[in-house]
Amino acid sequence: MTGFALGVDQEEWCGQLRALAVQRLRPLAEKGEPGRVNRPLLAALGELGLLERVFASGALELCLLRESLAYGCTEAETALALQGLGAYPVLRAGSEEQRERWLPRVRTGRAVAAFALSEPGAGSDAAALALAATADTAAAGGGWRLSGEKCWISNAPEADFYTVFARTGEGPGAKGVSAFLVPADRPGLSGAPLDMLSPHPIGSLAFDGVPVGPRDLLGEPGRGFRVAMDTLNLFRPSVGAFAVGMARAALDATLAYTADRTAFGGTLSDLQAVAHRVAEMATRTEAARLLVYAAAGAYDRGAGDVPRRAAMAKLLATETAQYVVDHAVQLHGAVALQRGHLLEHLYREVRAPRIYEGASEVQRTIIAKELYGAVAAR
């Protein structure tokens, strides 16, 4: 890939993924129940080798994968991404025992993973989380008891294991957070689904003295926030890719509709107001796409400015997708508001990415902090 275009092989692969999403994955998604984990869909993602690609690829390939699947089947894209988000900390920070037990099952879609960071009082301010991990003096070999709540956790309460971030108290703020791999069958762990606008599964978790030990740690005690940020730095640009995929689907639907729909003695595309709006939608989508690719490339190169680039990519792409889908609905009119219409579906899907994995306001804060930090360093 150059700075501005994909290679021929990459373009062909993306086209194959888009076709696969429509022909093989969308039918499975349509059979699923909104707000529930679709295990047949996950199994298909595993059989096709797509879950394996999440863990074996770099950031750019992950972005191309998510963008292409989102174009044809948002449910498949989200199921794949949530597997990666929940299990990536195990890949990067887990012990050999943890990786051998869980990752083969995640890659084949036989085990459902979840990333449990957000809490009722600690969403955007992740360092303020309050889930307490208190020392369990009765446990042989040491350990902790987890007490508190997690909220807005994708794949909860149906996941088979959770990457959980809790306060072990080695230091103030982010310095006192540890990461744990918590199987869903641990005593004291319960959950409930939440009825959300977004159609993918989201729930809350309650921890009533859930026992965890040193073998459940992901990385070192007090270093859990770094595990979380390493994961988010990889996945934030690919959230932008998800958004770009939705924007491109909405744009293409709008081009086809306005070129064919007759009104006022011609087609909608003959109206300058319509044509100019479509041009704006296309330009913003292309700008977001390029920024996502640039952020992914920086991650793959190990560049030092990944947090800034990742934040910029997620910010612009998710805000752009909201703009494009909203204007696509407007140009389609009432037909786009009917249940089952592509744009009705995208309209519900597109809102959440501006909030999760760091709201737009958080991304702006990260960008500004990185920019002013560079000034201070000079």
Residues with catalytic function: 357
Question: How far is the CA of 328 from the CAs of 40, 311, 335, in angstroms?
Answer: 31, 26, 11
- List the one residue out of 102, 120, 88, 111 whose CA is nearest residue 192: 120
Helix axes 224-260 and 306-332, enclosed angle (nearest 10): 30
Which residues are bridge partners to 354 per DSSP?
A: none
- List the one residue out of 252, 240, 246, 253 whose CA is nearest residue 288: 240
Give the span between the Cα atoms of 247 and 253, in whole angstroms: 10
Half-sphere exposure of 361 (CA within 13 A, CB side): 4
Instruction: Give the number of other Cβ atoms within 10 Å of residue 270's Cβ.
Output: 14
User: Is the distance from CB of 236 to CB of 313 less than 8 angstroms?
Assistant: yes
User: Is the distance from CB of 347 to CB of 294 less than 8 angstroms?
Assistant: no
Amino acid at 254: T
Question: How far is the CA of 337 from the CAs of 184, 334, 345, 361, in angstroms?
Answer: 38, 5, 9, 29
Half-sphere exposure of 120 (CA within 13 A, CB side): 6
Give the span between the Cα atoms of 14 and 162, in whole angstroms: 31
Which residues are bridge partners to 144 per DSSP?
A: 135, 212
- List the one residue out of 277, 297, 274, 273 whose CA is nearest residue 285: 277
Give the span between the Cα atoms of 320 and 242, in whole angstroms: 12
Continuous segment of H or E residues that includes residue 292: helix 272-301
The DSSP symbol for 44 reads: H
Q: Report the chain's C-alpha Rg in angstroms.
A: 21
Amino acid at 166: A
- List the one residue out of 213, 125, 136 whose CA is nearest residue 174: 125
